[in-house]
Structure formats: structure tokens, C-alpha cells
Chain A
Amino acid sequence: MTGALYLSQPFAQHALIAGALVAVTCGLIGPFVVTRGMAFAVHGTSELAFTGAAAGLLVDNNPIGGALVGALVVAMVIGALGVRERERDSAIGVILAFGLGMGVLLLGYYRGFATAATNILFGNIFGVSNDQLLALVGIGVGVVLVMSFVYRPLLFASVDADVAAARGVPVRLLGFVFLVVLALTVTAAAQVVGTLLVLSLAITPAAAAQRWTPNPLRVTALSIVFALVAADGGILASLASTTVKPSVFVTSISFGIYLVSRLLGPRLTRRSRRAVADTVASA
């Protein structure tokens, strides 16, 4: 198989390592994104990472740096806009639309390789350089460290903000920390699946994991596993195919996992829980 041959090549190994790093960070934050209702914020952040990447490409031939700056700026703005979900979402929509327009404008001035532009949008995991890989490792380690530190109070604040505040949890500060973590993760994920498809690693695995268990730690673990399977599975599949971009496989595998989870997941429904409760009560 051609795929097996590629595995000895550094570019394929880099891709798999980068994919695994991105999968772990996305899988880790995904359940919080879902619990906090921030799917649209992820989308907005990644779109603006595109604008940042286009600017970075134009100014310094450095799309990752630009994407990182773009994502962080958006995270700050979302954080400053504050608390109310509905207000936040419309504000994100406003910024997103404008930011995308700016991105298109910036790309219009770019005179380099045409593929550089599509790479930002759809990812180019096989073009990951040593430096980029190092940056991804840095981001991944940072995100994992921060998340393992704030996991419990962040979960409390995400599920039950009022009571968490009453118990002394710094709810606003944690929300802000999470936005920064999100920006870092989105930037990293955009290298693998592109800014347009970040949701397939940052949300889909977590949404699928929720179908299997209500235990928050298990959901996080499953979400990471699903993201790993989708990311590295997609990369391996595209090594075997060569004509289809890895992003397509990554998003397809991710979606497939979600579908299977949705259909087969044993999550309790209201009715089945009642049935269980009634049997126990009458026993």
C-alpha cells in the first residue's frame, strides 16, 4: 500500500503528530463548548482566525501567527461583550460577517501561491513544518495544562453559574480564560482541518460523546478519543487515497461517529428514565 510507504516519511509523521495534538486539545475543550452553548463562538473565532491568517500571510508570510492573533482578538472582544448568550451570538455574527469580508479583501492583495489561501480555509496538514509542529506542541501542552487546572471550577461555572458564583468561583474570569484557551485551540485545529471546518473537531466529537454517558469525565475522555480517531484516521485515509484532502476524511469520520452515536448511544430519554425509576420504586 502507498499509505504504509508514506508512514516512514517525516511529512506523514509530522501530520499524524500534529493531528493527535489538535485532537487532544479539541476533544478536551469540546464538552465545555457544548455545555456553555458556544458552538457559534467557536465558528466566529475560527472565521476571524481566517482573517488573521490572511493578514499574516500578506504581511509576514506567517498565516499561523496571524490566525493566532486574529483568534485571540476575537476571544477578547467576545469576552468584553460579555455575558448574555443571545446578545453574544448576534455580536459574533456581526463581527464574523465583517471579518470574513476583510479576509477576502486581504487575500485579494496576496500575490503568493494560490494554495496558501485555500490551505487557510481547508487546512494543509501535510505542509506542517518543524517550526509549526513545535508551535502546535506548545499550544497543545499549554491548553492541556490550563484545562487540567481549571476543569472542575469551569465545569461548575458552565453548568450552574449562579451557584458557582455564590460558592466563590470566579465565574467571569474563568469564562475569559476559556475564551483564550478556545482561541489557541481553534488556531491549532485550523492547521489540520482549516478554519472553515474547525467545528468538526471542536464540537462534533463532544456532541457524539454526550450520547453515550452523562458522566462529565467520561464524556471528556470519549470526546478526546473520537477527535483522535477522526483526526489521525482522516490523515491515514488521505495518505491511502492521495487525491482527497485530509479535511474531507476528518470531517466525514467525525460526522460518522456522531451519526452512530446518535443512533446507537444509550442515552436515557425522559420516558425510559421514568420506566427505570418506577420499576425500582415498585420493587
Chain B
Amino acid sequence: MPAVRLRDASMAYGTRVLFEHLDLELAPGEFLAVLGPNGSGKTTLLRILLGLTRLAAGTAEVNGRAPRRGSPDLGYVPQQRAFDPDLPIRGRDLVRFGLDGHRRGLPFDNRQSRARVDDAIRSVGAERYAGAPIGLLSGGEQQRLRIAQALIGDPKVLLCDEPLLSLDLSHQQAVSELIDARRRASGTAVVFVTHEINPILPYVDRVLYLVGGRWAVGTPAEVLTSDGLSELYGIDIDVIEVRGRIIVVGSDESTPTEPGGHHHHHHDHHGAGHGHGTRSH
């Protein structure tokens, strides 16, 4: 059974079409990168799989079932964000949320929950700082705990929404490696929404590229080509490979991004993805 299946899936907000007639099957353990400019529907796709938004047409399945809120088949890793240093939540509390944060009652520890949280923390190598308040952790430390949080329930599919954003290079690599190791060991399929393909390029099996209502699916070598992207964007695009990294250069400054809701400037250290460094939230 495929981990994720989209059949003839279409999505639009008003007259703005995000994608149409999208067919996609993701096998267990497969690593899919979702690329595309701001507002192209990358995050909406995750919301559809999470059961928070419905497709306009077509069907979506996660592990053979229609997506539904709070499904234990899904783990979710958001982008790193700042927490107040005074916030009375430790790293291990964040991980614990992944286990039973949605259940009523008080989060008292018992032997079983403590053991599972400890295991999850160990599996991402976060023992050293899991007891510290999350507001005092670095972005990379926080994202490791996020992965532990997402994986503690043993999901079939791991959904990642820009988890590497604002991490430095070494942490980007460490976090990507963790995700890759997990999907190889446990057969967890990965849907990884990102602006920058390069940090995860060694691990990616296939790419879904969304642009202005059009889409392309295939291996990075198939999709990330000058001809392929030029056709998707409808303008001349050059894809250059330098030292195992992929650099996408648009011919025209006014493309390929659409304006986002608010601007979150982000330095494109290694020139990956497409032209612009802003993203919608």
C-alpha cells in the first residue's frame, strides 16, 4: 500500500489554481521533496495530507485512508521558530506532546511515557539538552527535538514544512541525515517542503515541483533541468550543477516568486532553489 496517494487531485483558492490533475504515489520509505515558489501550494499540500484542508477535486490518501486531523499515521515537523526564553517548557515536554499532547488530562509522567520520550530523545541525539527550556535551545537543537516529537508516535509518513529554514549549514546537514536515517530504518515516507533542495539532494528520491498551477514529478535529474523548469515557469530558466549542488537561475527578476503574505527574509546561502529569498507564511 502506498504511504501517500493523490489521484487526479486539484486545488484552488478562488480563481488561483495551485495544481490540477495531480497524480502521485509515494512508497513507504520514499523521500519526496516538494519545491516551488511562494504561494505555489507546497504548504497547502501538507495541510491537505494533515486533514486541515480539503482538495477541490480528486482524492488523497494517507496509508490507504482519507486524510484526517490528528491521524497517528502522520508526523509533522514545522520550521524552526523562536520561543520565549522564559517559556516553562523543556525540550522533553515538546517531545512528549508528540506522544499524547492531544489527549485530555494532566501530563503526569509514568514509567512508560518517560521511557518512550527518553528513547525518542536518544534517537535524535538530544540527551544533552532535552532538559533545558526550549527558549534557550539553538535552532538545530530545537529541530532535532521536533523530529523526535514527530517520530515518537511511529508515523507512516513524515511531513516536513521547511524544517531547515534558518539553520546553519552543519545543522541543516545533521537534521537532513536524521530524517534520511529514519526513513531507511523504519520505512517512514517523507514529504519535505523546502526552498532549498541542496541540503537534502543526496537523500531525495523524487521531486514534486509546483509552479503557478503546473506541476512536475520525477527524480531530481528528471525534473531539475533547464528545459523542464523553463517549461514549468514559462520563462527561460537555467539549471546549473556546481560541485554536486543545483543552482536555478531565472532570466527575469520579476519571476518566479509570487508575493507572500509577509516577508520573511532569508539569506539564500548556497544559491539554491529559485531566484528570491522570501517566503509566505
Choose the segment among A38-46, A160-168, A234-242, A248-256 that binds chain B (4+ C-beta atoms closer than 8 Å): A160-168
Q: Is the CB of B97 within 8 A of A156?
A: yes
Q: Is the CB of A159 within 8 A of B89?
A: yes
Q: Is the CB of A152 within 8 A of B128?
A: no
Residues in B neighbouring A280, C-beta threshold 8 A: 128
We find that the number of chain B residues with CB closer than 8 angstroms to chain A is: 38
Choose the segment among B101-109, B177-185, B233-241 that binds chain A (4+ C-beta atoms closer than 8 Å): B101-109
We find that the number of chain A residues with CB closer than 8 angstroms to chain B is: 37
Q: Is the CB of A216 within 8 A of B107?
A: yes
Q: Is the CB of A152 within 8 A of B89?
A: no
The residue in chain B whose Cβ has the minimal distance to the Cβ of A209 is B88
0 or 1 for each of A151-186: is its CB under 8 Å from B? (1 = yes)? 111011001101111111100000000000000000
A162 and B98 CA atoms in complex are apart in Å by: 13
Q: Is the CB of A277 within 8 A of B101?
A: no
Q: Which of A149, A162, A281 has the most CB atoms of chain B within a 10 A radius of its CB?
A: A162
Q: Is the CB of B105 within 8 A of A214?
A: no
Choose the segment among B68-76, B116-124, B193-201, B204-212 that binds chain A (4+ C-beta atoms closer than 8 Å): B68-76
Q: Is the CB of A217 within 8 A of B108?
A: yes
- Contact check: which of A34, A148, A149, A156 meets B101 at CB < 8 Å? A156
Q: Which of A31, A34, A167, A168 has the most CB atoms of chain B within a 10 A radius of its CB?
A: A167
The residue in chain B whose Cβ has the minimal distance to the Cβ of A219 is B88
Show the binding face of B for A, using Cβ within 8 Å: 50-52, 68-71, 74, 76, 78, 83, 85-90, 93-94, 97-98, 100-108, 128-129, 131-133, 136, 149, 159
Show the binding face of A for B, using Cβ within 8 Å: 31, 34-35, 148-153, 155-156, 159-160, 162-169, 209-210, 213-217, 219, 267-270, 273, 277, 280-281
Nearest 5 interchain pairs by C-beta: A168-B70, A156-B101, A214-B133, A168-B69, A166-B76
